Homo-oligomer: A and B are copies of this chain.
Amino acid sequence: MIILLEKKAQKVCYDEIIAFLQKEKINYRPIHANERIVIDLSRNVRVLDREKLLSFDGVDKVFTDTEPYRLVSRNFIEENTIIELDLVQIGGETPIVIAGPCSVESEEQILEIALLVKAQGLQILRGGAFKPRTSPYSFQGLRERGLELLGKAREETGLYIITEVVDTKDIPMVAQYADILQVGSRNMRNYELLKAVGRVNKPILLKRSMSATMKEFLLSAEYVMSEGNTQVILCERGIRTFDDFSRNTLDLAIVPATQKITHLPIIVDPSHATGRADLIEPMSMAALAAGAQGLMIEVHPNPPKSFSDADQALDPKQFANLMHRINHYLEWQKAYAKTPHAY
> Using a CB-CB cutoff of 8 Å, which residues 243-257 of chain A contact chain B?
243-246, 249-257
What 1/0 flags go to A321-334 for Cβ under 8 Å of B? 10111001100100
> Using a CB-CB cutoff of 8 Å, which residues 136-184 of chain A contact chain B?
136-137, 166-170
A256: contacting residue among B65, B279, B290, CB under 8 A: B279
Q: How far apart sit A256 and B273, CA to CA, in the bound complex (Å)?
A: 14
Q: Which residues of B contact A190 (CB under 8 A)?
A: 166, 186-187, 190
Q: How far apart sit A215 and B135, CA to CA, in the bound complex (Å)?
A: 9
Q: How far apart sit A246 and B282, CA to CA, in the bound complex (Å)?
A: 22
A342: contacting residue among B168, B245, B249, B320, CB under 8 A: B320
- Asked, given contacts A216-B134, A256-B282, A339-B328, whether A192 binds B166 with beta carbons under 8 Å apart, the answer is yes
Tell me the nearest residue of chain B to A276, going by C-beta. B257
- Is A107 engaged at the interface, CB distance under 8 Å to the other chain? no
Does A286 contact B279, Cβ atoms closer than 8 Å? no
Question: Which segment of A46-54, A88-96, A218-226 sits at the interface?
Answer: A218-226
- Tell me how far the C-beta of A319 lies from the nearest C-beta in chain B, rounded to whole angstroms: 9
Of the listed residues A192, A250, A274, A323, the one surrounded by the most CB atoms of chain B closer than 10 A to its CB is: A192
- Is A202 engaged at the interface, CB distance under 8 Å to the other chain? no
- Asked, given contacts A274-B253, A341-B324, whether A135 binds B283 with beta carbons under 8 Å apart, the answer is no
What 1/0 flags go to A245-284 for Cβ under 8 Å of B? 1100111111111001000000000000110101100110
- Tell me how far the C-beta of A311 lies from the nearest C-beta in chain B, rounded to whole angstroms: 14
- Is A85 engaged at the interface, CB distance under 8 Å to the other chain? no
Does A253 contact B167, Cβ atoms closer than 8 Å? no
Q: How far apart sit A211 and B249, CA to CA, in the bound complex (Å)?
A: 13
Q: Which residues of B contact A222 (CB under 8 A)?
A: 135-137
Question: Which segment of A7-15, A75-83, A121-129, A234-242 sits at the interface?
Answer: A234-242
Tell me the nearest residue of chain B to A242, going by C-beta. B240
Tell me the nearest residue of chain B to A198, going by C-beta. B136
Tell me the nearest residue of chain B to A249, going by C-beta. B251
- Tell me how far the C-beta of A150 lies from the nearest C-beta in chain B, rounded to whole angstroms: 19
Q: Could you list which residues of chain A lie within 8 angstroms of chain B, going by C-beta atoms?
A: 42, 65, 68, 70, 132-137, 166-170, 186-187, 189-193, 195, 209-211, 213-216, 219, 222-223, 226, 239-246, 249-257, 260, 273-274, 276, 278-279, 282-283, 285-291, 317, 320-321, 323-325, 328-329, 332, 336, 339, 341-343
In the complex, 11 of the A-B residue pairs with CB atoms within 8 angstroms, ordered by the A residue number, are A132-B189, A135-B219, A136-B219, A167-B193, A213-B244, A214-B243, A245-B253, A252-B283, A253-B274, A257-B276, A282-B291
